[in-house]
Amino acid sequence: MKLIRFAPSISLIGLAFCAASLCAAPQQVSMHNDPHRTHAPADKAGVGQPPEDDAAMLLIPEELRPEIPCEVLRLETGPNRAGVQMNTWADGIVPYVFNANVSSQNQTRTLAAMAEIEAVTSVNFIPRTSESDYIVMNSSTVNNSFVGRITGPQNVNIFNWATRFIIVHELMHALGFEHEHQRADRNSYVDVNFDNICCSAEFNFFIASGITDFGAYDFDSVMHYGQYDFTNGSPCCGPEDRTITVLAPNEAMQTVIGQRDHLSTGDIEALQALYEGTPTPLPFFEDFESGTFDPARWTGIDSATVSLDGLNPPSGTHSVNLAGSSQGGQKIRTGVMNTQGAGSVIVSYAYQRTGGGNSPEASEDLVVEYRDANGSWIEFARHLGSDVDMTTFATNEVTLNGAALHDGFRVRFRAISGNIAQDDWYVDDISVATPIANNNCLFASQVFAGNTPITTTLATTTGPTELCGDLNNDAWYFFVTPCDGTLDISVCDATFNAQLAVYGVSCPGGSGTALACSDDTCGVGPAVSLAVSSGQLYRIRVGSSDGSTGLATLSVNCSIDTEPCPADCAPDNGDGTYGNGDVNIDDIVAVINSFGDPGGPCDVSPDNGDGTYGNGSINIDDLVAVINGFGACP
């Protein structure tokens, strides 16, 4: 539905309206205007100048535009600038800076506008550090922006700071979106009345070239102009002054076009198509021990840092520090996760007030929220700044359902404080998981050789008691052996007290029927080994001794057993092993040279039947065994 530009071009889009008396000859500059610029009358604020009080800027309804003189920029009408490639932002990461002329209040408004886009897509606006390409938020007398990423810094100019979705509109341009009414198919839906358009603004209504239309025509798009935008009607406004007329049978959309109060469904779908990103897989666990935020797992890192200042963190040495900021508090947000179809989702985390930092006070709280399908942030936990300082981390686990179950789920942690780098909170060991489907032997999940992340979160106990323990809250897997040899199974890095049992092809009918069973006694992960033949199915059960659940890694490997070759007793390899894979004259010489010795590498007879060889004396039996074994080892 959106117009997504991929052609090698740059254009700078803006918002303004003009009076017929100001329609002079065009000048060649690098901007062109859009229609939502509002300002005080000339006798109070000066022609084209914003009022001193930012809060006084009210969006004048499109249908009630007064004939107030306005500054009109004469603009470049050509749709393309040769030799410059238009691009989207790699991985959806958009670095930004604020011009010094942007007040702290308007910076906060900008971040709120950015959050509207971040909430529904994988776009991540980040404060610029050293990136060469970035947007510059600038206070101006117009609203305009380049379309898409260009080389180096690019201005996003804002006049109407008080209207959040005007800022969103310009940010959408910066992300690569043209106007909805410039689509190739627009003449089937609207009539553009060029006779009513002033100020050499016609190019803002031309059908754009070099773009890709997405989805159905969207009258509700935040990228659509309103019915009187750039009208030359004076006085204004009546139907005869319209610059855009909606065609039948969609006349009811006449007063809908030009809205600036939300992202439409089509806007969201187009954003997600252009910046879909990769969903963060579940189960999700983060302990921040890398010392940095992984951009594939975290977005919207508003000044938060990975820190060593948390006291006694639950794992490792790092945790996230969330403190006050000029924007009202630092925050972090997970990437998009798909919880759709799950019965519920469990979020758990550890938190600490103050730690090795500055004490929060009343109202300087830590808030934990999830994003619902409408893009709204829903608070589900709050930790009060008025409580006592903490020297250890506390844990919190919350089960969410209903509005939390959709394909755009995210979790956000934010501190509430305007005191820069003060009022410290620390967060660690963040986990997000959905109920497992393999909480029953009959619905075991297949695993393959190697390491597989697993979870027992939300599992119940479905199997019998075994000799090594109860295996409470169990998850089930199955493995088909690819070899004749030894099957090694272990549970590593478990966040719970893991136990492990292995069964044959059939589900257990009673207690004590496991082929092998192991408990993680003394903090060592459970592990079992058993002899297997190729093509056999084994059921693997992972539970806990005390009902605890969590995340772990299940390691499964099948190794081919080599047949013994005891007669290959020479040479001495110098590393505790003997032989070279071939029984030959060297082995005969070694036996003769060691005749009468009380054992040794050439004490190879008899076969004791238990995997050992020899009788403690090298004699004629050993020489015969070597001669009989002449040739390559099996």
Which of helix, strand or coil describes residue 422? coil
Asked about 170 being catalytic, the answer comes back as yes
Distances (CA, A) of 309 to 313, 319, 354: 9, 8, 9
pLDDT mean over 310-329: 91
- At residue 81, the pLDDT reads 23
- pLDDT of amino acid 373: 83
Q: Residue 438: pLDDT above 70? A: yes
pLDDT, average across residues 163-177: 94
Helix, strand, coil shares, percent, the chain, to 5:
15, 30, 55
Q: What is the mean pLDDT of residues 383-387?
A: 97
- Asked if 37 contacts 249 with a C-beta cutoff of 8 angstroms, the reply is no
Indicate whether 448 pLDDT > 90: yes
Domains of the chain as residue ranges with CATH = 1-276 (3.40.390.10), 284-433 (2.60.120.260), 441-560 (2.60.120.380), 582-632 (no CATH)
Residue with the larger pLDDT of the pair 580 and 9: 580
Task: Encode 580-615: b = buried (16+ Cβ within 10 Å), e = exposed.
Answer: eeebbeebbebbeebeebeebbbbbbeeeeeeebbe
The string of pLDDT tens digits covering residues 71-107 is 322 222 222 222 223 478 987 889 999 999 999 999 9
The pLDDT of residue 522 is 57
- Angle between helix 265-274 and 164-175 (nearest 10): 30
Query: What is the pLDDT at residue 42?
Result: 26
Catalytic residue among 76, 118, 170, 466: 170
Query: Cβ(18)–Cβ(71) under 8 Å?
Result: no
**With 80 as the cut, is the pLDDT of residue 352 above it?**
yes
Residue 215 pLDDT? 85
What per-residue string of b and e applies to 472-509 under the rule 16 or more CB within 10 Å gives b?
Answer: bbbbbbbbebebebebebbbeebbbbbbbbbbeeebbe
Q: Which two tokens stand for residue 370?
A: 């999830």
Q: Are strands 485-492 and 527-532 parallel, antiparallel or unpaired?
A: antiparallel
Pick the closest to residue 632 from 600, 592, 572, 584 (CA basis). 584
How high is the pLDDT of residue 634? 80
Q: How far is CA 542 from CA 39, 145, 269, 344, 455, in A?
A: 67, 55, 40, 21, 9
* pLDDT single digits (tens) 464-503: 999 999 999 999 999 999 998 999 999 999 999 999 999 9
| Per-residue confidence band for 275, with pLDDT thresholds at 50, 70 and 90 | confident
Residue 30 has a pLDDT of 29
Band of pLDDT at residue 556, cut at 50, 70 and 90: very high
Query: What is the average pLDDT score of the chain?
Result: 83
**Rounded average pLDDT over 452-459:** 89
- Cβ contact 133:93 at 8 Å: no
Whether 367 and 414 have beta carbons less than 8 Å apart is answered as: yes
Q: What is the pLDDT of residue 198?
A: 80
Q: What is the mean pLDDT of residues 532-551?
A: 94
* 546 has a pLDDT exceeding 80: yes
Contact by Cβ (8 Å): 137, 97 = yes
Q: What is the mean pLDDT of residues 391-418?
A: 92
Residue-wise pLDDT tens digits, 9-61: 333 444 434 433 333 333 222 233 454 433 222 222 222 223 333 322 222 22
pLDDT tens per residue across span 526-539: 999 999 999 999 99
* pLDDT at 201 (0 to 100): 80
Cα(589)–Cα(594) distance, integer angstroms: 9
What are 70's strand-pairing partners? none
Percent of the residues in the chain that have a pLDDT greater than 90, as a whole number: 59
Q: What is the DSSP letter of 70?
A: -
Question: Cβ(433)–Cβ(398) under 8 Å?
Answer: no
pTM above threshold 0.75: no
